[in-house]
Amino acid sequence: MLTMDNPTALPRYQQLADDLGEAMRSGVLRPGDRLPSVRETCRERGLSPATVFHAYGQLEAEGLIEARPRSGYFVCTPRRALRAPPRAAPASSTAQPVAVSALVFDLLGSTSRPGVVPLGSAFPAAHLFPFEALARSGARTMRKLGPAQITGALLSGDDGLRQALRRRYALHGVALADDELVITNGAMEALNLCLQAVTQPGDVVVVESPTFYAALHALERLHLQAVEVRTDPQEGVDLAALEALLAAQPVAACWFMPSFQNPLGALMPAARKQALVELLARHRVPLIEDDVYGELHAGARRPLPAKAFDRDGGVLHCASFSKCLAPGYRVGWAAAGRYTAQVQRLKMMSSLATALPPQMALADYLGQGVYDRHLRQLRAALAAQQRRALRLIERHFPAGTRVTRPSGGYFLWLDLPEAVDGVTLHRRAMALSISTAPGVLFSADARFAHHLRLNVGHPDDPRVDAALRTLGELACEMAAGR
């Protein structure tokens, strides 16, 4: 268990299971190979027999290895291999008004019902967050919230938080102007305000394909038209396709997630981000950069945001603490470049100001110097859970299934055989109290009918392994025409 009460790295049995799983994935251990004996492994890694049995037991439960009486443990023959990543959607779409169906809200609502295994959820497991430390910060700062704070900080946000954010931007290689930050009610409000600041009803906005459904909702709410641009599951937006779109029609803005895109998990390489920013600057098209997953990198360093390459203030960078530190606190922000004044004005017009108590609690917490330790633990827990989920999916989903293997975030994107309809699979799974996010949610023109986004951000939920197995079995039945 990885919680604030146990701030070490992964448990040893989990490390061992992960290492063996990786050896199987990479081909170092192949089907039919015998695993080292428990005694050998104890000696080699300095572990107790109980720890090794725990790890082997888990791999056995996942169907990756089997115990043969008096012979030891052997790597199973996988029923099917899912090495290939999903294919990119075939082409960019034409501009069209967005009308997200009521079905979407039903689907979203159903994922938050208690008792449902939340594979369709957009949030990681809440127990991964340091609520106790945040509560201490909150209790301490509530007492400082008085008349002076109200008058000064109401419109602009808490000064301490603004300074802490600017320091983190600087650490990540982005120098912000003094007054560039607008504190908002979560990233969702920041993104909505930025989108409204750079568009008029009827305008065309380019989004990724697939794209985060909240982007589609925002376009619908503001009466905008969406064009979906071909997006590679590994490297993000196809710049040639984007350039063609920009040449073909007036475009008011792009709304992209260059780091750990939702739902693909794609990470644009830094050079590609730079080329994107330069391309858009040449066309004077603002980039709304949704960067809520940037802190959840599995690799050693946080990827640079596109904002790091912004020279003329055309990048409106939006992020929040909701996915990496404090869900429920609803503190987000926009660093809105040359549009900051418009965004600030829209903020005043639409919700006036952001609640101060959560901002002050976060500013105090950030001042404790423990945030990065929390992030390291969170990243390790999410990466381990991704490996575990991939093993289960590889074992239990039908042949021909393709799955992403993102280097950050906590989503997997599955490209299922043609015979498997995502919404039908979602409904059958919901009947068994398992939620998913079917692919049609992630497009304005109902592409991705055979896709699923799965949340693998719920380690330590004992129902998740069984739910992934069940989901795979349902998909196999559908693939077999049942």
Would you tell me which residues interact with its own copies (CB under 8 A)? 105, 108-109, 112, 114, 123, 125-127, 129, 131-132, 134-135, 138-139, 142-143, 145-155, 184-186, 188-189, 192, 196, 201, 214, 217-218, 220-221, 223, 327-331, 345-346, 348-358, 361
Minimum CB–partner distance for residue 56 and its own copies (Å): 31
The least CB distance from residue 246 to its own copies, in Å, is 26
Q: Minimum distance between the CB of residue 5 and its own copies, rounded to whole angstroms?
A: 13
Smaller CB distance to its own copies: residue 157 or 294? 157
> Closest CB to its own copies among 58 and 199?
199
**93 or 185: CB nearest its own copies:** 185
Q: Closer to its own copies by CB, 126 or 171: give it.
A: 126
413 - beta bridge partners?
453
How many C-beta atoms lie closer than 10 Å to residue 355's C-beta? 14
State the Cα–Cα distance between residues 408 and 386, nearest whole angstrom. Answer: 9
**Could you give the residue ranges of the DSSP H alpha helices within 211-322?**
213-221, 239-248, 270-282
CA 107 to CA 116: how far, in whole Å? 12
Q: Considering the complex, what minimum distance in angstroms separates the CB of residue 353 from its own copies?
A: 6
Q: How far is the CB of 151 from its own copies (least distance, A)?
A: 6
User: What span, in angstroms and rounded, lies between the C-alpha atoms of 433 and 114?
Assistant: 9
Pairwise CA distance, residues 444 & 99, whole Å = 7
Question: Pairing mode, if any, of strands 72-75 and 65-68?
Answer: antiparallel
Beta partners for residue 231, in sequence order = 237
Q: How many CB atoms lie under 10 A from the CB of residue 434? A: 24
For its own copies, the closer CB: 161 or 304: 161
Q: How far apart are CA 180 and CA 239, in angstroms?
A: 28
Q: Is 290 helix (H, G, I), strand (E, B) or coil?
A: strand
Surface-to-core class of residue 106, CB atoms within 10 Å of its CB (0-12 exposed, 13-18 middle, 19+ buried): exposed
Pick 15 or 342: Cβ nearer its own copies: 342
CB 257 within 8 A of CB 212: yes
Least distance from its own copies to the Cβ atom of residue 445, Å: 19
Q: Which is nearer to its own copies, 119 or 241 (CB)?
A: 119
Which CB, 22 or 132, lies closer to its own copies? 132
Distance CA 259, CA 66 (A): 38
CB of residue 20 vs its own copies: minimum separation in angstroms? 31
Pairing relation of β-strands 204-209 and 225-232?
parallel
Structure tokens at 112: 């938050």
Q: How far is the CB of 329 from its own copies (least distance, A)?
A: 6
